Amino acid sequence: MDFPSLVFSVRKQEPELIVPAKPTPYEVKYLSDIDDREGLRFHVPKILLYRKKDFCMASTCKADDIVGVMKKALADALVFYYPFAGRLKEVPGGKLHVQCTAQGVLFIEADADVRLEKLGGDFVKPPFPCLEQLLYTPSNSKDILSCPLLFVQVTRLMCGGFIFGLRYNHTICDGQGIHQFVKALAEIARGKVSPSILPVWERHLLNARDPPQIMFAHREYDAIPDHKEKLPSLDDVVQHSLFFGSKELAALRQYIPPYLQACTTFELLTAWLWRCRTIAIGYDPEEEVRVVISVSTRGKLHSTLPTGFYRNAVAYPVAVSTTEKLIQNPLSFALELVMNVKNAVNEDYLRSTADLMSVRGRPNISTVRTFFVSDMRHMGNAGEVDIGCREVVYDGPALGVNPTSHFWMSSPYISNTNNIGVKGCFVPIYLPRLAMKKFLLEMESMVNKTPTVQTILQPETSKFSLTLFRISSL
């Protein structure tokens, strides 16, 4: 589907503030040293696409007033998640806390002259055309102080479906945390009085220890000079979308020895993409290249954390290699590097990260010659965000045709289906135009000596293009 050429208009109403439906505590909520990292001080875009059900059993849902339904559910949900209605403040030393002032979250009502079928129907996947019209963007997106922690836009579609776009402040929660909030919102929209899981703050549980104990090298925070790296213009960056089903993954596994066959799909794809991407960009042989892996520590913490604890609980270990070693060695070399750093993440690693933040003043993760990956395939159940009169067909990152400064170096792995209903892993990737051509050729040569990559290229007149391809089994 030629998404880049799809153009539609969105008519927006004036923004309004939605406040909690009932009085909430006026207090200060402190962030943990994990929440307070410099690299989390931005708003994360997320998008959900809903289609209208043919038949709805929810008597409480007013199917023709979806904006009213979502506004009421949002106000009711904020009674429980009232910190979202507050504002961030900075205290001496640069640390942040939330002032729970019930000032509200920003809400925008909109209408788009497009039907869900034009966006993919049951097989919706990024990149999304006209994304900037479906998400509210604050005028000064870098100023996170004194502005809403949550921006919500509900855009009605001509078919009766709608798009729920939001930007949430990353210091308040991670992807799992925002899913918990959206799940609560959906439950209330379906008629529940309160969420099935009540939110718990308790951020002190992940604060730095006294005294701090930095137990790991944490090379993700290395200070790396970037005088050799020239960042590409975003105007020259193109987006391609990769789909990996069971046949494609079986083909890749033929490249790794028996003792590594226990690797996960995420580990295998990360090693493979990192290697191909490095070759395509063409770094100098002696330079170090890196892949940062977003690893959730949920389920890895020895300490008992309360149910409903919607904090940031993600570590960012990094695998490091010289360009020469990465591309001259077989795929198993990159795979072992990825597996070793990913499997080293545990509660001690997360607490060591909190201690490092306290000691070193919350440094940013290095972005020099770095590829970022995150596994979003298990980010909650789509049925959990069903609102009764509408069911979700996509719930995931809001990735557009145009790359952004935050996301052009990263690839989220998304659970999705292709256009013939085959389930698999969907991976969008951004690269400079020339590097993308080399990337596709390298992938093709790795998978099979005979060309088997089928590409559907958009016309050269399109500034950004979408390619969906399948890799045949060996």
Catalytic residue numbers? 170, 386
d(Cα 264, Cα 38) in Å, to the nearest integer?
30
120 in Cβ contact with 1 (< 8 Å): yes
d(Cα 448, Cα 250) in Å, to the nearest integer?
13
CA nearest neighbour of 439 among 411, 397, 407: 411
Q: 217: Cβ–Cβ under 8 A, 6 or more apart, which residues? A: none
Number of Cβ atoms within 10 Å of the Cβ of 407? 18
279 in Cβ contact with 329 (< 8 Å): no
Number of H helices, E strands in the chain: 9, 18
Number of Cβ atoms within 10 Å of the Cβ of 439? 21
Number of Cβ atoms within 10 Å of the Cβ of 470? 19
CA nearest neighbour of 186 among 164, 155, 169, 160: 164
52 by Cβ neighbours in 10 Å (0-12 / 13-18 / 19+) ranks as: middle
d(Cα 53, Cα 350) in Å, to the nearest integer?
43
Relative to beta strand 468-469, strand 237-244 is parallel
305 in Cβ contact with 351 (< 8 Å): no
For helices 265-281 and 246-253, give the axis angle rounded to 10 degrees.
70
d(Cα 188, Cα 173) in Å, to the nearest integer?
20
Residues in a beta bridge with 99? 28, 87
Helix (H, G, I), strand (E, B) or coil at 441: helix
Residues in a beta bridge with 90? 96
CA nearest neighbour of 96 among 170, 178, 168: 170
